[in-house]
Amino acid sequence: MPPPFAVIPGAQVQAVLAGREQEIVDVVAGAYRWHGEGDSVNPPSYFLTFPDRPTARIIALPASLGGKVRVDGLKWISSFPENVAAGIPRASAVLILNDHDTGYPFACLESSIISATRTAASAALGADVLSAGRPRPRRVGFIGTGLIARYIHTFLAGTGWTFDEIGVHDTHAESATGFSGYLEQSGADAVTVHDSAESLIRSSDLVVFATVAATPHVSDPAWFDHHPLVLHISLRDLAPEILLDAVNIVDDVEHCLKANTSPHLVEQLTGNRDFLAGTLDDVMTGTVAIPADRTVVFSPFGLGVLDLAVGKHVYDAVVQAGELNVIADFFHDLSRHG
């Protein structure tokens, strides 16, 4: 018999993940290690775009992860920026988990929370790993103040980061105000709203880009003369001259050099990949060392194996709690000859 098919809604997903930031960072770190060791399959993401809705897209991220997880699956995530004006989140997603041995899908999970969580966990892991050989940042600045920025702050705070100053910048004043309010409610004392990206970058040791920018909007290397650590989560904010003046770390080389990301633009400009120092896994294993006197930019494309790792973690927790919502007879016609 095939495995039973279950649906795990967002409330259950959030109940499993909330308040367990370090645990989830460890899950993500394990996925990066298995991926680095070749115990995974992570094909290119497929982008579904629309001529009549040029700002929107839906992305398919198929993947297979080995290690202790041993699961296949697909994240199907949409990004419709116009949703924000309508009062609903920009992104929505589902994650399908497939059984390793039979290929049968055995769970469908609400995945906007999983996606934001694995993105934030990856950012927190990157901040920790890449700051190990340099003074730990005490001033953080967020460029882009939506849900991803909130999750990243939650994961930084939940994994032991404290800051003397927090800077905020967004092209939408209401979003910056709302994020500042969230920070103050979460206990932050010194929150400054900056009227320009330059002002925020120059006053931050750790810079987080979490925007929906489609093309680079930061191009002056002088803004980074103090050599901050940059979490380039949104991937398309920085002009090539910024990356060419920095130590560049990615999560996966082939994935990051696609879809006109900032690293991809550098490759197109230079005709080579010499500007890349390596992957986060290379740093974790000691293959790549991070200098203390250079700007460091972490540009993670976001791998489907991370969604699988976090999604399977959620599934196992729901099963262990005895709260799995199984859909009876989801697979119905199972006799080969009727």
Q: What is the mean pLDDT of residues 13-17?
A: 98
Is the predicted pLDDT of residue 338 greater than 80, yes or no? no
pLDDT reported for residue 334: 82
Q: Is the pLDDT of residue 226 over 80?
A: yes
Task: Please write the tens of the pLDDT for every residue from 45-68.
Answer: 999 999 999 999 999 999 999 999
pLDDT in tens, 107-128: 999 999 999 999 999 999 999 9
- Strand, coil or helix: 208: strand
> What is the number of residues in the chain?
338
Tell me the mean pLDDT in the region 68-78. 97
Return phi, psi of residue 67, to 5°.
60, -140
pLDDT > 70: what percent of the chain?
A: 100
Residue 282 has pLDDT above 80, yes or no: yes
Nearest Cα neighbor of 33 from 254, 281, 252 is 281
Instruction: Identify the burial level of 69 via C-beta atoms within 10 angstroms of its C-beta, where 0-12 means exposed, 13-18 middle and 19 or more buried.
Output: buried
What pLDDT does 216 receive? 98
**Which residue's entry shows tokens 């120092």?**
277
pLDDT of residue 106: 98
| Residues 140-192 pLDDT 10s | 999 999 999 999 999 999 999 999 999 999 999 999 999 999 999 998 888 99
The pLDDT score that the predictor gives to residue 144 is 97
**Mean pLDDT confidence for 85-107:** 94
Q: pLDDT digits over 206-216, tens only?
A: 999 999 899 99
**255 falls in which pLDDT band (50, 70, 90)?**
very high
Query: Which candidate, 336, 329, 303, places its Cα nearest to that of 115?
Result: 303
* Helix ranges restricted to H, 251-303: 253-256, 262-270, 280-284
How many CB atoms within 10 Å of residue 100? 14
Mean pLDDT for the stretch of residues 73-98:
93
Domains, the chain, in order of start with CATH, read: 5-114+304-327 (3.30.1780.10), 120-299 (3.40.50.720)
pLDDT of residue 333: 82
